[in-house]
Homo-oligomer: A and B are copies of this chain.
Amino acid sequence: MRVLILGGDGYLGWPTAMSMAAKGHDVTVMDNYLRRNIAQETCSEALTPNPNLIDRAKIFEAATGKKIDVVIGDAADYRVLSALFARTKPECVVHYAEQPSAPYSMKGFDEARLTLNNNLNVTFNVIFAVIEQAPDCHIVKLGTMGEYGTPNIDIEEGWLDVTHNGRSQKFLYPRQAGSLYHTTKVLDTDLLWFYVRTYGIRVTDLMQGPVYGLSTPEADMDERLVPNFHYDDIFGTVVNRFVTQAVAGIPLTVYGKGGQTRGYLNLLDTLQCVELAMTSPVKKGELRILNQIVEQFTVNQIAEKVKTVGDRMGLNVAVKSIENPRKEMEEHYYNAKCSGLIELGLKPHPMTDDVVAGMLENVLRYKDRIDPSKVMPRVKWS
């Protein structure tokens, strides 16, 4: 299948590109290094070595014989994106090309404005590039479970049937996100749904939970192919951050009470989910929404898991609650449905002790590169 991956340099974009190329798909990736530039600007570089995208594609080709076509360019520039669609005529576009950090989006005016404009404009451009250049192309969009926030009722997969005063209506599940970054994904969903029902484009919107891990079959071939793994407060997701703290001998920093519950998934499951969405496209005029998570944990449960496995490995892990820099509920109801991807064929990799041990061993290789000053939260909500 001809697939275009936008944001192909990212923590998820790059392993997705490799995985799809390895499976024989015809892969083009585009990225403008926005995340790399923000990482540098905020002193939040990845733990792992990360050659530039063009060099990585060469290393990957040398290792596998498979080619990944790389374009360095800005998807927020419509001329660039439209020309790329015209040239590659993708059957599927995987849209990861967003500023992905919640704390960065809450830092100040400039960071918030960049997040809003980049994320909305890329989504908007993707919609129009599809309409104008590849009307049958299936958009696989990475949303986030964070769009839903933490409602007091069950989280359904994208939609909610409401009965009110004796009448019924199916709505997009009401969304209420916890950061501007997450809110831009709510706006993305609104925008996609409008153009799906008006222009008949085809979209799968994946509501993804926080991802963890750095091992994939392709990444394991050469350490220069390992996805950029962040442990800092800006880009580091909680599991990756805790694993790195355990390796560095720093207490795992739980924000507030630690009862915050989310749905999580292994990087390997992200790769599966995106490919399952791609290879079972929806029909025109359909917006399919899938909750891309595998299991739910509180932050305290994750800390406990990392501590248990880390202690067994002799890491002597401490856990410490610190003041929560975010505005969020620290104890709440959370029950999110996630059967859609299982029905499509997802075989989940749960967060077993072995998986945590594997991550700890992997990160131990980079122990000398850990900078403890990058771990503590530097951005407060308001």
| Chain A interface (Cβ < 8 Å from any Cβ of B) | 78, 109, 112-113, 116-117, 120-121, 124, 128, 132, 151-154, 160, 162-165, 167-169, 171-172, 174-177, 180, 183, 186-187, 190-191, 193-194, 197-200, 327, 333, 381-382
Q: Are A194 and B174 in touch, CB under 8 angstroms?
A: no
Q: Are A165 and B153 in touch, CB under 8 angstroms?
A: yes
Instruction: Known contacts A109-B78, A116-B120, A120-B116; decide if A176 and B186 are in contact (CB<8 Å).
Output: no
Instruction: Known contacts A167-B154, A171-B174; decide if A124 and B116 are in contact (CB<8 Å).
Output: yes
The contact of A190 among B128, B160, B171, B186, by CB within 8 Å, is B186
Which chain B residues border A200 with CB–CB below 8 Å? 382
Nearest-neighbor residue (CB-CB) of A165 within chain B: B154
Q: Are A117 and B109 in touch, CB under 8 angstroms?
A: no
Q: Other than the known A113-B121, A153-B168, what 20 A-B pairs have Cβ atoms closer than 8 Å?
A: A112-B124, A116-B121, A117-B117, A120-B187, A152-B167, A152-B168, A153-B163, A153-B164, A154-B165, A154-B167, A162-B162, A162-B174, A167-B333, A172-B174, A180-B194, A183-B191, A187-B187, A187-B191, A197-B327, A198-B327
Question: Complex formed: what's the CA distance from A199 to B106 in Å?
Answer: 11
Q: Are B167 and A153 in touch, CB under 8 angstroms?
A: yes
Which chain B residues border A197 with CB–CB below 8 Å? 327
Which chain B residues border A109 with CB–CB below 8 Å? 78, 128, 132
